Amino acid sequence: MAEQTRKRVLSGVQPSGNLTIGNYLGALQQWVAEQDNYDCFFCVVDLHALTVPQDPATLRAKTREVAALYLAAGIDPSRASVFVQSHVPAHTELAWILTCLTPLGWLYRMTQFKDKAAKQKQESVGAGLLSYPVLMAADILLYQAAAVPVGDDQRQHLEITRDLAQRFNHLYGETFVLPEALIPKEGARIMGLDNPLVKMSKSEASEYHAVYLLDPPDKIRKKIMRAQTDSGREIRFSTDPQRAGVNNLLTIYQALTGASREAIEAQFDGKGYGDLKKAVVEVVVDTLTPLQERYQALIREGGYLDEILAQGAARASEVANATLATVRERIGLLPALTPVSSKS
């Protein structure tokens, strides 16, 4: 089969809120671009979302919504497997096995853990938040993924995944492919519109923080026109934290248009921040309108989406279970036999 000769990709997004243009530019846009180059697996990582409190009905609805957004963004289920993480139990089993190989020190060092734990009362921080990267490593290693397209914030998690793969390979013999992070050149770290010093995040509650993929055009306009800028005038890419707001708008514009920095700076030479914002509104609306139309059609025809997820989980299980069988054997778990009495 042609698929076996292609390297694999795996990536996922948590159904922990409304997907933002940060998720689109850091993850989805790259996934769509890579689906012809790799044998791709894209999952909705619902078990990761459980690491912070979730409402059950909302979690269920968001899981389907995120899957529909993958397809609406351009993931083609005839080329890529789209599935829900919890539908493939091998993920949790490998996660446990890897947990037993993970030094606590590696987990306490993770900046995402430190950031998310700091937002909660110390006694209510779940152990799942600490072991989050181990489950992510299991997601990736089960598929022998060579590349993992993610935003910049996931670099550290990819490093721990490689460290775990290396540790396992060293202890039990070559088993896992060491994955590389695939981080986009532009748009790998989109910042909050209301505060350009923090990463745009779907679980941030404030109204003007993020453009969501399903926001109607007037809302998109309002959010971008209110985006924080500075008191200067020059429209240039910059690493100066004082100018982070304008830099963020330029980055969004660049990642969506594919134009070069020079061309963009020339385009806005002598113009004001209002002109830049209007141009950003236009390209965001032009990108999201067709995506939203495809999304609405998928949600209306719910059965199609569920069938794609069922097929995706079946294909994912084949690959994941094969890896898990090797792992079980290597670490010395006794094979489970079918009782003779139940054989027909």
> Which residues form the interface with ligand LTN (CB under 6 A)?
10-12, 14, 45, 48, 136, 139-140, 148, 150, 154, 157
User: Alpha-carbon distance 80 to 315, whole Å?
Assistant: 10
Task: Convert residues 202-241 into a mask of x (bound to ligand ATP by CB under 6 A) and - (unbound).
Answer: xx--------------------------------------
The per-residue DSSP string of 170-188 comes to: HHH-S--PPPEEE--SSSS
Nearer to ligand ATP, 26 or 77 (CB): 26
Among ligand ATP, ligand LTN, none, what binds residue 139 when CB lies within 5 to 8 Å by partner kind?
A: ligand LTN
What are phi and psi for residue 90, nearest 5 degrees? -55, -30
Interface with ligand ATP, residue 167, by CB under 6 A = no
User: Alpha-carbon distance 229 to 305, whole Å?
Assistant: 40
Q: How far is the CB of 106 from ligand ATP (least distance, A)?
A: 19
Interface with ligand ATP, residue 13, by CB under 6 A = yes
User: Alpha-carbon distance 252 to 69, whole Å?
Assistant: 19
Among ligand ATP, ligand LTN, none, what binds residue 46 when CB lies within 5 to 8 Å by partner kind?
A: none
Q: H-helix or E-strand containing 62?
A: helix 56-73
Interface with ligand ATP, residue 188, by CB under 6 A = yes
Angle at 88 between CA 149 and CA 90, to 5 degrees: 90
* 202 in active site: yes
* 223 in active site: no
Q: H-helix or E-strand containing 10?
A: strand 8-13
> Contact at 8 Å (CB) between 270 and 304?
no
Q: Which of 116, 121, 277, 278 is catalytic?
A: 116
Q: H-helix or E-strand containing 326?
A: helix 302-331
Interface with ligand ATP, residue 150, by CB under 6 A = yes
Q: Give residues in contact with ligand ATP (CB under 6 A).
A: 13-14, 16-17, 20, 22-23, 25-27, 150-151, 153-154, 188-190, 199-203
Positions annotated as catalytic residues are 116, 199, 202
